[in-house]
């Protein structure tokens, strides 16, 4: 089978240089190599950043009306091409087509939020603070910014940041994951078709060498990152050391607390959906169910009934769950399953042996369930990032809360209960950035901001929403006094804005 060359997009066109290093792109459902990806050197990153830096000057001066027009056009193009982009995600990431389509749709919500940029950038005005003196505030773009995105949401995560950065008047250099790079290229091409000037959105593919150069380049003013906690911390420390504004979203160990009064059918559905959707490769996946006794036995029975009905296989065949992204990652997750057995957890459902509806060489692991997990086991302490769900039994609400709050991560959590007082107490007391009440994956809408606490976030700004607008702009306050009134000429035409 011939492989496709996948390369950088610079100034709206494919890069024409020769890469000294490349990496292979796989179809996880077959194990076959489908692409050869150019990996950028530091010099190539410099080339891309220069294009972005130059483009940012004119784009930052472009009117809000024109920027909004481009955003609306991009929104329509993204909607028209979402099936194509979803197919690229499935081909390189492995998630089933319906999940890939949902990813693009969630990203589109941020585009729609960014279409309101004229309202979002309105400043404040105070008249006559002193005699004939007015004070007002404005927000201005930063310049060229970088977005470093992970493999698990190759379209959605860039769409968390790029539309807002662009709407605010910045140019962007996107560094996607090497594992599934094609979706980002396809989305970037739509920006050009929407009328965005060349160089405002660029894509540079690469590994640590590219990341390090973006973190140190003087013309990159801000960095947005999503990935594992160790790398998020690295990006934050090195980006801020070089004077950049950084928002680095890290890993998670998301807990679902189930109280004895919960609707167990609803809860079991939610646990399966949140634990095994996208093969558990989500930073918002539920990986630990905290069952407040005496609910555990009944809940585990209902979860097991649902798990055995799931089909794991090729994402194009209408399966419920696809493969893991690489063979290496699959082996790592299998290692956690083996470690859980060795530590004494009860393996209630073993997903290692299938059956799998796909090629023999696909990177398969089925839904896996552990019971009687204790907080010292690696399947509890570590972010596995795979279809492994652990049930921890606790005697009370207070014990559940203490377990969640003592965890070093604080990304997302959920509580399932019919007790409004308990839910309200939990949302107040839990030390986590995003909370769901009878909602297993509490990803907020685009006009709110996404992000966790503790080791799940480095930096002060969450993604999208008003925090995203503030991250991609700088505030300025102007104090002015005009001694004489000014008069314009006569013009009886209807006023227009360009």
Catalytic site residues? 283
CA distance 327 to 185: 24
> CA 314, CA 321: separation in Å to the nearest integer?
8
**480 and 134 in contact (C-beta within 8 Å)?**
yes
- Cβ(386)–Cβ(331) under 8 Å? no
Work out whether the CA dihedral 225, 228, 231, 233 comes out positive or negative. Answer: positive
Query: Comparing C-alpha atoms, which of 347, 346, 389 is closest to residue 367?
Result: 389
Phi then psi dihedrals of residue 197, to 5 deg: -60, 145
Torsion sign across C-alpha atoms 290, 294, 298, 300: positive
141: left (phi over 0), alpha (psi -120 to 50) or beta: beta
Task: DSSP letter for 321, please.
Answer: B
Q: What HEC string does 25-79 produce?
A: EEECCCCEEEEEEEECCHHHHHHHHHHHHHHHHHHHCCCHHHHHHHHHHHHHHHH
Contact call for residues 203 and 185 (beta carbons, < 8 A): yes
Q: What residue spans of 251-354 are helical by DSSP H?
A: 264-276, 296-307, 327-343
According to DSSP, residue 169 is labeled: T
Partners of 475 in the β-ladder: 139
Residues 50 and 11: beta-carbon distance below 8 Å: no
């Amino acid at each position: 089978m011939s492989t496709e060359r996948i390369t950088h997009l610079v100034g709206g066109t494919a890069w024409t240089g020769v890469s000294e290093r490349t990496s292979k792109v796989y179809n996880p459902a077959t194990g076959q190599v489908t692409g050869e990806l150019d990996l950028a050197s530091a010099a190539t990153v410099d080339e891309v950043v220069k294009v972005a830096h130059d483009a940012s000057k004119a784009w930052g001066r472009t009117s809000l009306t024109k920027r909004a027009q481009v955003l609306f056009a991009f929104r329509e193009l993204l909607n028209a091409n979402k099936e194509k982009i979803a197919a690229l995600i499935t081909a390189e990431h492995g998630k089933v087509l319906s999940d890939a389509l949902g990813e693009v749709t969630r990203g589109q919500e941020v585009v729609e939020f960014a279409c309101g940029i004229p309202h979002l950038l309105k400043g404040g005005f105070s008249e006559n603070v002193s005699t004939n003196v007015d004070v007002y505030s404005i927000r201005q773009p930063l310049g060229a910014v970088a977005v470093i995105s992970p493999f698990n949401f190759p379209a959605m995560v860039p769409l968390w940041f790029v539309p807002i950065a662009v709407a605010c008047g910045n140019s962007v250099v996107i560094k996607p994951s090497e594992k599934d790079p094609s979706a980002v290229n396809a989305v970037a091409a739509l920006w050009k078709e929407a009328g965005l000037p060349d160089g405002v959105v660029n894509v540079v593919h690469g590994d640590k060498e590219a990341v390090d150069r973006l973190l140190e380049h003087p013309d990159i003013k801000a960095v947005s990152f999503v990935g594992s906690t160790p790398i998020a911390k690295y990006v934050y420390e090195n980006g801020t050391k070089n004077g950049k504004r950084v928002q680095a979203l890290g890993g998670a160990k998301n807990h679902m607390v189930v109280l004895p009064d919960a609707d167990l059918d609803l809860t079991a559905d939610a646990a399966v959906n949140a634990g095994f959707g996208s093969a558990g490769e989500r930073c918002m996946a539920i990986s630990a169910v905290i069952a407040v006794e005496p609910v555990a036995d009944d809940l585990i029975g209902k979860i097991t009934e649902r798990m055995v009905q799931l089909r794991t296989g090729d994402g194009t065949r209408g399966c419920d769950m696809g493969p893991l992204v690489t063979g290496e990652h699959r082996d790592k997750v299998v290692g956690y399953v083996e470690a859980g057995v060795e530590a004494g957890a009860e393996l209630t459902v073993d997903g290692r042996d299938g059956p799998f509806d796909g090629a023999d060489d696909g990177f398969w692991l089925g839904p896996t369930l552990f019971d009687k997990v204790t907080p010292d086991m690696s399947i509890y302490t570590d972010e596995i990032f795979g279809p492994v769900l652990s049930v921890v039994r606790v005697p009370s609400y207070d014990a559940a809360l203490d377990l969640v709050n003592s965890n070093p991560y604080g990304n997302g959590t959920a509580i399932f209960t019919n007790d409004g007082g308990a839910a309200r107490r939990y949302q107040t007391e839990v030390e986590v950035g995003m909370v769901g009440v009878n909602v297993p994956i509490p990803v907020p809408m685009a006009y709110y901001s996404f992000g966790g606490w503790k080791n799940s976030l480095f930096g002060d700004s969450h993604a999208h929403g008003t925090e995203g607008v503030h991250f991609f702009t700088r505030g300025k306050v102007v104090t002015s006094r005009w001694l004489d009134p000014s008069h314009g000429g006569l013009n009886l035409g209807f006023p227009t804005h360009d």
